[in-house]
Chains A and B, each alone.
Chain A
Amino acid sequence: MWAYFSRRLFIAIPTLWVVITAAFFLMRLAPGGPFDQEAPLPPEIMANLKAAYGLDQPLWWQYVNYLGNLLQGDFGPSFKYKDFSVTELIGQGFPISIQNGAAALFLALLVGIPLGAMAALKQNSGADHAAMTVAMTGIVIPNFVVGPLLALIFGIWLRETIFALPVAGWNNGALPNRILPVICLALPFIAYIARITRASLIETLRTNYVRTARAKGLPFRIVVLRHAFKSAMIPVVTYLGPATVFLLTGSMVIETIFGLPGIGRYFVQGALNRDYTLVMGVTILAASLVILLNLFVDLAYAWLDPKVRYE
């Protein structure tokens, strides 16, 4: 078990290192510096700026420095938000993004698994077809379409009714301000999780061990919950890895649409402003999150499938 887990951990660390290194050198490949503007700055000001941010040092020294600072949790100064360090910006934005992401994920599991299970147990019924058509719609229509449409409906068309919801701003995390962003972020997940659950449960219900359980005379409810469900959840757990990536990119969209000060929006702003350190900081944070979630998925496997524990 521990051997299994530590092996995973040993793959995770080099992956993170590759991400950091690739991000760092890609940024330095950029033609022109971060301070290139339409009206060129006087050379001495430019030199001062570069010196202030350590850009006059040799590249390898900058790299080593950056790594060293990272280990201390220092992502360096923001190139554009002059009064803030990247660490401060992330410190502000990250809690907002993670709250929305976790809420969306929770909502998706809460709705998606029962929906998919119901479709699987009533396979080829009207309810099954209806659920899967809805799921297909949720997958196909991107959240940057759904987001503005939800804003249009709840923010403008229903403005005068009790269904009106705020469509912009964080408002210190007031519940109404969270509803639309979280739903918008969760919709595609609900759809994916429902589809995966359905396919996987149908497959599990056809296994020999479910047949054995039925031959024992157990009520169907117990056959499903005790014998089929745990195995059927393995693909859903597997999906949590890619889901994290999805969540991160989704947060760029919903934070932009709904004007939330999370890391997704900082990243997009940073990219538009060529704020290199900010973009790198968020990228590294995102990669760490994905790697962490994948480790969690590995742990969950061990719980779902006893074979893994003894690998």
Chain B
Amino acid sequence: MSDAPMSDGGSGANLRVPHSHALDKAADVEGRSLWQDAFRRLQANRAAMISAVVLIVMALVCFIGPVLVPWSYEEIDWNILEAAPPNIEAGHYFGTDSLGRDLLARILQGGQVSFLVGILATSVALVIGVTVGATAGFMGGSVDQILMRFVDVMYAVPLMFFIIILMVVFGRNFYLMFLAIGFVEWLTMSRIVRGQTLTLKNKEFIEAARASGGSTAGIIARHIIPNVLGVVIVYVTLTIPQVILLESFLSFLGLGVQPPMTSWGALIAEGAQEMEITPRTLILPAVCLSTTLFCFNFLGDGLRDALDPKDR
């Protein structure tokens, strides 16, 4: 049958064959063109590009800004001692909070926490998720069964409660929070990586590596992980905002970062107390947090469209 010049199928109502054809071929011919292609598609996505620029600017401002702001985040302006409107002469460009601390300095410090938690906790999730997922997918059999059943069970557990228990038990330690959040977010990552690994596992080049005597660990590291990269990049971009959201949630409840340090979630909680007098103290950190989350989501969606053309 394989000699016959006709293949069947593809005559369904959704004739979508023609346009993807050329792209697939290009990707087959030259490996790199896939990434170049993706980058081109990403550049064409205006929402994603604007989001990327906004995020970079925000991160730079949060980490460099505090040097330029005349007040530090914990310094109390004894001349004010209350939530005051912006006062350029005194150097309070966004005004002060209810204790007379500079709001801009505090928002910048909160931003540092958000970006840090976004990167660190996502890294934790990334390492665990990719390791578990690639192992399960590649080893298959009972290892896969046990790992994935474990993931299933974890999904059915309200993990937020456990994060909070951890925060209670071990005190509200800054770094522990990163770890705890990372430990929750790896589940979906592991599932995605496993699925991707399973489809890759039986491709010819993996067979070739196995046939030429590569060790299991070597094959995972050298062949599977690089090929899973696209999906992982997309998912990482979408995990970062979730992690930032989790941290803000904890801090909002008073279970996250502890005074005098602050975070956007904590600032929103403080602002909510003061909103009757100074809505500014609520709205400014809320806008910062929402903008960041929006940008990460737009960027993630853009990357997904760019790296995973079959999804369109």
Contact = CB atoms under 8 A, between A and B. Distances in A.
| A–B contact, 8 Å CB criterion (strictly below) | yes
A294 interface: yes
B158 A30 contact: no
Nearest to B169: A30
Given A27-B165, A144-B248, A151 B272 contact: yes
A279 B164 contact: yes
A290 interface: yes
Contacts of A291: 156
A257 interface: yes
B162 A145 contact: no
Interface string A173-204: 00000000000000000000000000000000
Interface string B236-269: 0000010001001100111100000000010011
Looking at chain B's contact residues, the main secondary structure is: helix
Nearest to B167: A271
24 contacts: A11-B152, A11-B153, A12-B156, A15-B153, A27-B165, A139-B297, A142-B293, A144-B252, A145-B286, A145-B289, A148-B275, A148-B282, A151-B272, A156-B275, A156-B276, A211-B12, A248-B158, A252-B253, A268-B255, A271-B167, A276-B168, A287-B161, A290-B156, A290-B157
Given A15-B156, A30-B168, A274-B168, A142 B289 contact: yes
Interface in B123-181: 152-153, 155-162, 164-171
B13 interface: yes
B164 A271 contact: yes
Contacts of B171: 31
A256 interface: yes
B290 interface: yes
Contacts of A286: 158, 161
Interface string A1-15: 000000000011011
Contact of B13 (A211, A282, A290): A211
Contacts of B283: 149
Contacts of B12: 208, 211
A267 B161 contact: yes
Contacts of A290: 156-158
Contacts of B276: 156
Nearest to A249: B160
Interface of B: 12-14, 152-153, 155-162, 164-171, 241, 245, 248-249, 252-255, 265, 268-269, 271-272, 275-276, 279, 282-283, 286, 289-290, 293-294, 297
Contacts of B245: 142
A18 B165 CA distance: 15
B231 to A, nearest CB: 18
Contact of B158 (A11, A253, A287): A287
Interface of A: 11-12, 14-15, 18-19, 22-23, 26-27, 29-31, 136, 139-142, 144-145, 147-149, 151-152, 156, 206, 208, 211, 241-242, 245, 248-249, 252-253, 256-257, 267-268, 271-272, 274, 276, 279-280, 282-283, 286-287, 290-291, 294
A294 B249 contact: no
Contact of B255 (A31, A271, A280, A283): A271
A142 B248 contact: yes
A148 B268 contact: yes
A159 to B, nearest CB: 10
Contact of A241 (B156, B169, B249): B156
A248 B156 CA distance: 13
Nearest to A23: B165
B282 A26 contact: no
Q: Give me the 8 closest cross-chain CB pairs, A-B, nearest first.
A: A148-B272, A30-B169, A283-B161, A144-B252, A249-B160, A145-B286, A140-B293, A286-B158
Contacts of A23: 161-162, 165
A26 B167 CA distance: 11
Contacts of A30: 168-170
A281 to B, nearest CB: 11
A144 to B, nearest CB: 4
Given A26-B166, A256-B253, 9 more contacts: A27-B169, A140-B290, A141-B290, A141-B293, A149-B283, A245-B159, A248-B158, A279-B165, A283-B161
A14 B150 CA distance: 12
Given A23-B162, A141-B290, A148-B272, A287 B157 contact: yes
Given A136-B297, A279-B168, A291-B156, A22 B162 contact: yes
A294 B155 CA distance: 11
B167 A253 contact: no
A189 B62 CA distance: 32
Given A18-B153, A26-B169, A140-B293, A245 B249 contact: no
